[in-house]
A and B are shown apart, each in its own frame.
Chain A
Amino acid sequence: MNTNKVEAPKWLIFSGLVLMLIGMMFGAIGAFQYMLPGFLKQYLSFEKTRPFHVSSVVFWILFSATGGVVLYLREYAQVKISRWLSRFHLIFFVTGAILILSGYALGFFGGREYWEFPPVLALFLLAGWILFIIQVVKSVKTLRQQPVYIWMWLTGAFGFLFTFSESYLWIFSHFRKDIVLDMTVQWKSYGSMVGCWNMLVYGAGIYLMEKISQDKPYARSATAFALFFLGFFNLLFNWSHHIYTLPVTPAIRHIGYLVSMTELLILGRLIYKWKDSVTAMQKTQFGLSYRFLMIADVWIFLNLFLAILISIPAINVYTHGTYITVAHVMGTTIGINTMLLLAVSFDLLGNTCRSMEAYRVQVYRAGWLVNGALVVFLTSLLVAGIQRAQWQMSNEGVPFAVMMNSLRPYFIAFAASGVVLLMGFATIVYPLLRNIVACNFKPRKQPVAGWKTPVYQIE
Chain B
Amino acid sequence: MGPDLTNVYSAPGKGPAYIKAFVQVGTNVMPAFNLSETELDQLVRFFERIDASGKADPKNFKRNLNGTIEYK
Contact = CB atoms under 8 A, between A and B. Distances in A.
Interface of A: 34, 37-38, 41, 45-47, 179-180, 244-247, 250, 253-254, 257, 312-318, 320-323, 326, 392-393, 395, 400-401, 404
B68 interface: yes
B68 A245 contact: no
B1 A257 contact: no
B33 to A, nearest CB: 9
A317 B54 contact: no
Nearest to A244: B69
Given A37-B29, A180-B53, A314 B58 contact: no
A179 B53 CA distance: 7
Contact of A38 (B28, B50, B59): B28
A45 B31 contact: yes
Contacts of B71: 247
Contacts of A37: 27-29
Contacts of A47: 31
A238 to B, nearest CB: 14
A313 B69 contact: yes
Given A46-B31, A47-B31, A254-B68, A318 B49 contact: no
Given A37-B28, A257-B67, 15 more contacts: A38-B28, A179-B49, A245-B58, A247-B53, A247-B54, A247-B71, A313-B69, A314-B68, A315-B67, A317-B58, A317-B69, A318-B58, A320-B58, A326-B1, A393-B58
A264 B58 CA distance: 26
Nearest to A181: B53
B38 interface: no
Contacts, number: 60
B53 A400 contact: no
A393 B53 contact: no
A246 B54 CA distance: 8
A400 B3 contact: yes
B61 interface: yes
Interface in B22-40: 27-29, 31
A323 B1 contact: yes
Contacts of A313: 63, 67-69
Nearest to B55: A247
User: Looking at chain B, what size class is its interface with the partner chain?
Assistant: 20 to 34
Nearest to A250: B70
B21 interface: no
A401 B31 CA distance: 15
A260 to B, nearest CB: 10
Interface of B is mostly: loop
B69 A253 contact: yes
A44 to B, nearest CB: 11
Contacts of B64: 314
Contacts of B1: 321-323, 326
Contact of B67 (A46, A312, A392, A404): A312
A257 B68 CA distance: 8
Nearest to B3: A400
A253 B68 contact: yes
Nearest to A312: B67
The 6 closest A-B pairs by CB, nearest first: A37-B28, A247-B54, A314-B63, A313-B69, A37-B29, A312-B67
A316 B68 CA distance: 10
Nearest to B31: A45
A179 B69 contact: no
A320 B6 CA distance: 14
A90 B29 CA distance: 38
Nearest to A316: B69
B31 A41 contact: yes
A247 B50 CA distance: 11
Given A257-B68, A312-B67, A323-B1, A317 B53 contact: no
A124 B27 CA distance: 36
Contact of B29 (A46, A315, A321): A46
B28 A321 contact: no
Nearest to B61: A317
Contacts of A326: 1
Interface string B46-60: 000110011010110
Contacts of A400: 3
A180 B28 contact: no
Contacts of A393: 58-59
